[in-house]
Chain A
Amino acid sequence: MSGVDVTAVAKNYGATKVLTDITQNFESGTFTSLLGPSGSGKTTLLRIIAGFVAPDEGAVRIAGADVTGVPVHARNIGMVFQSYALFPHMSVAANVGFGLGRRGIRGKAAKAQVDEALEMVRLPGFGGRYPRQLSGGQQQRVALARAIVIRPDVLLLDEPLSALDRRLRQEMQVELLRIQRESGLTTIFVTHDQEEALTLSDKVAILDRGRIVQMGRPAEVYERPRTRFAAEFLGDANFLTGKVRGSAVEIAGATIMTEDRLPAEGATVTLAVRPEKIAIRPAETARSGAVENSLPATVSSVIYTGTALTYMLRSGDLHLKVFAQNSDGSPLAAGSAVVLSWSARHSVMVEG
């Protein structure tokens, strides 16, 4: 089988555990994002797969072959770096052709492949230029062409877009996705940008302190975060902690329903509720019983951003955040009494 398999990989730097017991399959042809804050080990994991870092334990298999002891140059990987890392003394064509040369492909055959790769990253005819003559976005496209032209078994992207400005980044995200789809390369993408990860990926892996805490399709990870960390890092969440009472959870006097399977009566659990899943209505117009969960609250403040509104609210001791569309142009004032409501399936039970 192809794709990338990481088995029981661990890496320590001195007493610092950078990665702990990582076992994960990156399916062939999929685009997987490694998402986590700095220090979570996502870059180290990528560098272990690339071969720049040797794991203390565990094994790495690329396209079915065990490459744990194989040096970088023999791994057939394509890698794109945050700093582009183009060879400044070589033309664009020479940069893109570098990996081909290492594989013994030279002359006409190489030129054809280089042209094709430049075509793919939409830089046809740029072969004669030098990196310093290109914009940041163009340089990154060259870096991408250089990495894919060798038809690697896996494409490794180390925060390749974070040096670009916002507009260019969005443009490149689209390009990246298109190129990945066209080339069908197994791609592993390191980022700390959650939006980027959600937009691009077939799968998102959330890393926290050297572990993959959750991996799945973006919607799955977003809608059903397994841990408090995952819920918090990917998007925003309100956390409600209370005790199990029958088939519901009693939180600050209110009874909150969830569709998740609850532990035994009396156990303490935390429910995560996404701010955009909560409907907000003035107390006087609220109709109870329409949805499973409702909670009276008071608006503490409103953040007005034009298209959307962010309400900061209090309900007893609880602090809550709610995103609302600015549909009628008259946001609720601070101090207004409101009722918050959401459906039971949006109360997601999370660990820790």
Chain B
Amino acid sequence: MLTKLRTNPGVYDVVLINSARSQQAAGEDLLTPLDLANYSNASGLAPALRDNAYLKTDGKLYGVSWVWGMNALAIRDGMDKPESYAALAAPEYKNNVALFDDAVTMIGVGAFLSGQDMNDPKDLDAVAEKLKAMKPNVKLLWSSEDQWNKAFSAGEFDLSVYWSGAAVRSQRKFQLPLHFVVPKEGAIGWLDSLSIPATSQNQEAAAKFINYMIDPKFYVEWATKIGAPASANEKAMEELPADDLNRDIHKPEYIETMTLMAPLPDDRRTAFNNLWQEVKAFYAA
């Protein structure tokens, strides 16, 4: 995305950027600063998302938060909802756990469990220890939603690290008996925002388009007829039917407790990947 912005100035009027990349783009002067006063629908945006630090550079806002989601836990219906990620290592789930095969997410879980900042854990050994403690429980590492659905419906595990959006789809499309649970440590969150490239030739139209994208009416149509991630617009979420799964899972209070994935410097990303690789090798051995 950033490469496209760099190499094609003037071609794009609106770009979708993960919040973890927003500052990088703004730092390279690729984006236009925005004033939310120009966006009538911005009033409904969840404050925690709207004013998220990752969207700001030098005090200026460069992105309108649009959709968000979480990585937390999914548990089979009828079982006690775990209060903490510590359940992943609890003996009652022996050989009954699926982990997400993703370094950032799993290091995040390990950081939560060792009481560290998920985006910058100083003590990686403590993270590794927490993750390695899950070994007797870990049955499989999933890497695609499809794989997760098949294994869950075959009853191969009851507890898993899972995506909120995927939890909605698994219940809606396949009627899988699961609950999405955000433990006390909070979820690992992501946020996508809409920005206007500095080189855009149609700044006004771009702003109008962004305003439309965060319009609750548009969102309800999108979410109910096609299926959508959770909207950053609280009003939009409130207009969903009361029993809507999407609304049920993406509760507004989770926005407060979740930790957004931060931009990772290369060496930290590499360290995360190597650590996760090592933990996986420990699981396999």
Task: Check whether chain A touches chain B (CB < 8 angstroms).
Answer: no
Report B's interface with A, CB cutoff 8 A: none
